[in-house]
Structures are given as C-alpha cells and as structure tokens.
Amino acid sequence: MSRPIVIVGAGVIGLDVALLLAEQGYGPSITVIAEHLPGDTSINYTSPWAGANFSAISGGDANALRWDKYGYQHMMKLAEEHGTEACISKTPSFEYWDELPSKTKIESMSGYLEDFAMLDIKDIPKGCQFGVSFTTITVNAPRYIQYLYRLLQEQYGVQFVRQRLPSIKAGFSDISTKIVFNCTGNGARHLPGVEDAKSYPTRGQILLTKAPQITKNVMRHGKDYETYIIPRPQSNGSVILGGYMQKGVSTGDTFSRESESIVERTTTLLPELLTPGMEVLAAFSGLRPSREGGARVERTSIQLDELRNGILVHNYGAGGTGFQAGLGMARDAVNAVEDVLRSISREKSRL
C-alpha cells in the first residue's frame, strides 16, 4: 500500500483536511495516522468535548476573519444538505458583550451571517454593552467527527491507522510519502520535530444537560469569563452549558464549584432553562489547543536523511474555534501544497 499523503491527527482539524482533499479526488491516496480516533474519549483528544457552535469569540485578525467566513458558508450548506446525518443544524443565536467588541470583527461578520441584526440596548441583559442576533450553526461535536470518519472511509476510500508517532518524521516512514500534514492539536507542544513553545492548552469545563425546551444558542462574553448555552443537534434535548477559558491549565479533572458557577450563570442568562427544569447529566473538561499569535497553517520542509527532504504542512493551534475555522484552515493548508498534489494521482470519477 503506498501512502502519498499522510495526515497526522484525527481531530476535527485533520478530518477537515482529509475531507477537502477527498473532495478533490485524493481519497485513496490519504492515510490518517492518529493515536485517538473518532469515538474515543481522552483528555488528549479535544474534538469530542466541544460545544459546539459558531460564534464571534474567535480572533479579529485577517486569518481568523477569512477562516470563519469560509467555515460558516461551508457548514450552512452542510446543514441544509446533510444536517441530519452530520448532526449539524441552523439555530437562532444571541451573543452579548460586557465590553464593546472590535469593530472590524463585527463588520466582517455582519457581511455574511444570515439574519444578522444588532440588538437594541433594552433587549440585552443588564451589564452588557452590545448584542447581536443571527442564525448560527450548532454541531453535535462527537457525532459530527464520527460522521466525517465514516464518510471518509466509506465514500472516499481514506485509510485510518491507529498509532502514536514518536516524532513528526515518523510520518514519512513510508518511502512513497510526499506530504505530511501535522494536525496534532495539543500534541504539538511536545512532539519531537515540532516542539512549539507557543502552544498551550486553554481548559474549559462544560455541563451536559437535558433541557429539550431550549431551541436557541445564547452567549455572554465577559471580560474574564464566558457563559454559553448551546443545544446539541440530533441529541433528543441535550444542551451544553459553559464555560471556562483557563489559559495554560491542563487538568482533565472537573470541579463541582465550577459546575455550580456554570449553572448559576447560565440560568441567570436564560431563565427558560428552569422552566420546566433541566437535568444535569455530566460534567466534562476539555483542552483547547491554543497558540500565541493564532493557529499555525504553514508549509515547511524537513530533512529526513542525506537524500530526502519531506514536505510538512503544519495545521494546529485552532484554540476554541476548531469547528468553525477548521475548514478554512484546511483550505489554506491544501492550497500551500497545490504543486505537490499535482504529482499525486486522483480518482477520475471525482474530477
């Protein structure tokens, strides 16, 4: 079996790269190598722990604005065409800020978000300075990555191998490998060959609750806190409540005082949670793979031995926005190796 394209990592970031390449006809040339695969749960595997929704929480730099726009448009289409199988749905969303958000950010988002409106000050919670409403995308994170996993194998012939690589060079162990995509999330900090000191985890704790009466997404962005309510599509009434953004904290433990704070903040923000009532099913903790300066999507080359250089594309550090920005990041990662891809054969049927 030859392995022209290797993707290390099977979180949403690696799966998004596989999806874009498979859509271009490269499915049978792709091998995804990962220690954790969709369906697994581990503190070292962030994707199953996400809310997840599309929100204005992402950064205001040019990359983030572009990735968000592409991700939103792609996922709205997915919600329309395959929403049920993919566990993605369009959901009304309300976001509030204690302090005014960046103008560039709001201007960019207002240009493409469906049903975008700025809210009147009398319609936003006390203590907030600004609010918007729009139609967002909510994603049942663990089910969505399992959907991509099945789709990639069954419809596109992508191979998955469960293996922990000792270094990024090991991704090139097959002589036929031309490109390796490094989509290792938090693994990036310690993986020999990558060892990115700018990478750090941002811990979040969330509650999985049952509250079928909730049909909208609500977020409040505080100066040093984040409170949010996200209904999970195709889940029979599950709602995710959060949250926390703890920079540099890497414990997978959950804390009852944090659960209490989440319940208090979310029920204040959305009292409908208490009518007729909600049931707290579980508390989880997840580590957002963050990076100073934002995500790294970059082509580099790595010396494998005297004769051989490998093409390595970094794609990690998505932080709190891997679901909303992942497809845009994947597009940049794939575009960076267009010249190399031309030498790899494609399935004619998909061209």
Ligand X SMILES: *[C@@H]1O[C@H](CO)[C@@H](O)[C@H](O)[C@H]1NC(C)=O
Q: Residues at the annotated binding site for FAD?
A: 46-47, 184
Contacted entry of ligand FAD, ligand X, none for residue 79, CB cut-off 5 to 8 Å set by kind = none
**Interaction residues for ligand FAD, span 239-258 (CB under 6 A):** 242-243
Contacted entry of ligand FAD, ligand X, none for residue 123, CB cut-off 5 to 8 Å set by kind = none
Binding pattern for the stretch 169-208 against ligand FAD, x by CB under 6 A and - elsewhere: --------------xxxxx---x------------x-x--
Shortest reach from residue 44's CB to ligand FAD, in Å: 6
Burial class (CB in 10 A: 0-12, 13-18, 19+), 144: buried
Interface with ligand FAD: number of residues (CB under 6 A): 43
Contacted entry of ligand X, ligand FAD, none for residue 46, CB cut-off 5 to 8 Å set by kind = ligand FAD
Which of 324, 329, 330, 337 is close enough to bind ligand X by CB under 6 A? 324
DSSP secondary structure of 18-32: HHHHHHTT-GGGEEE
Stretch that binds ligand FAD, among 17-25, 41-49, 120-128, 297-305 (CB under 6 A): 41-49
Token digits of residue 132: 């918007």
Q: Which residue type occupies 329? A: M
φ/ψ (deg, to 5) at 130: -155, 145
- The annotated binding site is made up of 46-47, 184, 221, 228, 288, 320
Instruction: Name the DSSP letter for residue 273.
Output: G
Contacted entry of ligand X, ligand FAD, none for residue 34, CB cut-off 5 to 8 Å set by kind = ligand FAD
Token digits of residue 4: 């022209």
Could you say whether residue 149 binds ligand FAD (CB under 6 A)?
A: no
**Nearest 5°: CA angle at 188, between 151 and 282?**
65
Q: Which residue's Cβ lies closest to ligand X? A: 194
Which of 17, 18, 22, 50 is close enough to bind ligand FAD by CB under 6 A? 50
* Nearest in space to 244 (alpha carbons), one of 256, 232, 262, 230: 262
Which of 175, 224, 236, 306 is close enough to bind ligand X by CB under 6 A? 236
80: left (phi over 0), alpha (psi -120 to 50) or beta: alpha
Residue 24 CA from chain centroid, whole number:
22
Could you say whether residue 318 binds ligand FAD (CB under 6 A)?
A: yes
Contacted entry of ligand X, ligand FAD, none for residue 10, CB cut-off 5 to 8 Å set by kind = ligand FAD
Strand order through the sheet with 5-8 = 159-162, 30-34, 5-8, 179-182, 309-316, 296-303
The span from the CA of 219 to the CA of 256, in Å, is 22
Could you say whether residue 247 binds ligand X (CB under 6 A)?
A: no
The span from the CA of 54 to the CA of 330, in Å, is 17
Contacted entry of ligand X, ligand FAD, none for residue 310, CB cut-off 5 to 8 Å set by kind = none
Could you say whether residue 43 binds ligand X (CB under 6 A)?
A: yes
Contacted entry of ligand FAD, ligand X, none for residue 189, CB cut-off 5 to 8 Å set by kind = ligand X
Are 249 and 258 within 8 A, CB to CB?
Answer: no
Could you say whether residue 3 binds ligand FAD (CB under 6 A)?
A: no
Closer residue to ligand X, CB minimum distance, 74 or 189: 189
* Nearest in space to 324 (alpha carbons), one of 89, 80, 91, 64: 64
The span from the CA of 15 to the CA of 30, in Å, is 11
Residue with tokens 């976001």: 95
Residues that bind ligand FAD (CB under 6 A): 8-14, 33-36, 45-47, 49-53, 164-165, 183-187, 191, 204, 206, 242-243, 286-289, 316, 318-324
